[in-house]
Amino acid sequence: MPEMPEVEAVCRRIRPHVTGRTIERARLPRPGTAAGPAADEIERWLPGKRIGRVLRRGKNILLYLAGKPIPWRAVQVHLRMTGDLEIAPDARLLPAGARMILELGARRALVFNDPRALGRVRLLTPDQVRQMCASLGPEPLAAAFTIERLAAEARSCRKPVKLFLLDQERIAGIGNIYAAEILHASRIHPRRPANALSKPRLALLHAAIRNIMSRAVQSASAVYGEPGRWGEDEFPLLVYGRESEPCARCGRSIRRIPQAGRSTYYCPGCQR
């Protein structure tokens, strides 16, 4: 159930084990995993290809294929809610939720495990790689994500700021948990329209996005190698999942409200 920091941790964890390795066999045993082309074409086409760089864009993982094969240039994996990539010592004895297995030789396999089966795998042409990257907003930790850029995105968005933060086309990588934490850190009410944020509040929001996301990347990456553990275990969540508990900052009782069918947690005392 990863947001950008956990996806980044997954990339760092698998990178040394897959870079430069040749795919000997690919298996997508359950229907619905492939989002194009079809599973049997992916299984037929990948063997013999070598994995090059492992990159992340937003919450997407890209396994580039070395030697620029035609037509497909990269394997795209989106973990959605419950996906994870693991290095298995053996392609046998797989977890029940295994949705893709890339056998890499030397008793090593990359396994896409996803019990809830919402995650997706695609092969992308160079054009599709560019389209996917271009369709997403700036990376929150990149230099291009300035206060001015945030202000420009917010100005053109009338949605509640919580939903603005979740919009991957405006900023890439923020999810439900960190959106709540970011708004608490910047003392902004989640229902405030994005285009109603003042200059000073946008500056606070920008600082909170960078602060929360960079600390989350650090803590998520620090626990890699411990199966089933996400960075949030180490990252103190001040509002998310804390309905009815006292706010650490002002003591008021934290509230949970629905927004776009999902839970938003916030403090009615210090978020205005």
Partner DNA sequence: CACAATACCTGCTAGC
Partner DNA sequence: TGCTAGCAGGTATTGT
Q: Which residues bind DNA (CB under 7 A)?
A: 1-3, 6, 32, 58-59, 78, 80-81, 96-97, 115-118, 156-160, 163, 166, 168, 175-177, 230-232, 260-263
Q: How far apart are CA 34 and CA 28, in angstroms?
A: 8
Pairing of strands 120-124, 109-113: unpaired
Q: Which is nearer to DNA, 6 or 103 (CB)?
A: 6
Decide if 59 contacts 169 (C-beta within 8 A).
no
- Is 131 buried (19+), middle (13-18) or exposed (0-12) by CB count in 10 A? exposed
Shortest spacing between CB 215 and DNA, in angstroms: 14
- Which of 2, 5, 138, 140 is the catalytic position? 2
Q: Which is nearer to DNA, 23 or 177 (CB)?
A: 177
Q: Which is nearer to DNA, 124 or 166 (CB)?
A: 166
- Which of 130, 158, 262, 272 is the catalytic position? 262
Pairing of strands 98-103, 120-124: unpaired
- Does residue 6 carry a catalytic annotation? no
Shortest spacing between CB 30 and DNA, in angstroms: 8
- Secondary structure (3-state) at 5: helix
Tokens of 192: 């405030």
Bridge partners, residue 257, by sequence: 264
Q: How far apart are CA 44 and CA 144, in angstroms?
A: 40
Q: Which is nearer to DNA, 49 or 59 (CB)?
A: 59
- Does residue 262 carry a catalytic annotation? yes
Q: Which is nearer to DNA, 2 or 52 (CB)?
A: 2
Q: How far apart are CA 131 and CA 23, in angstroms?
A: 26
- Does residue 3 carry a catalytic annotation? yes
Shortest spacing between CB 18 and DNA, in angstroms: 22
CA 45, 33, 8, 113 torsion-angle sign: negative
Residue 234 φ/ψ, nearest 5 degrees: -100, -10
- Does residue 69 carry a catalytic annotation? no
Q: How far apart are CA 256 and CA 266, in angstroms?
A: 7
Shortest spacing between CB 37 and DNA, in angstroms: 15
Contacts of residue 27, defined as CB under 8 A and 6 or more positions apart, other chains included, come to 43, 91, 100, 101, 103
- Which of 13, 49, 57, 59 is the catalytic position? 59
Shortest spacing between CB 47 and DNA, in angstroms: 26
Shortest spacing between CB 26 and DNA, in angstroms: 21
Q: Which is nearer to DNA, 105 or 156 (CB)?
A: 156
Decide if 18 contacts 54 (C-beta within 8 A).
yes
Positions marked catalytic: 2-3, 59, 262
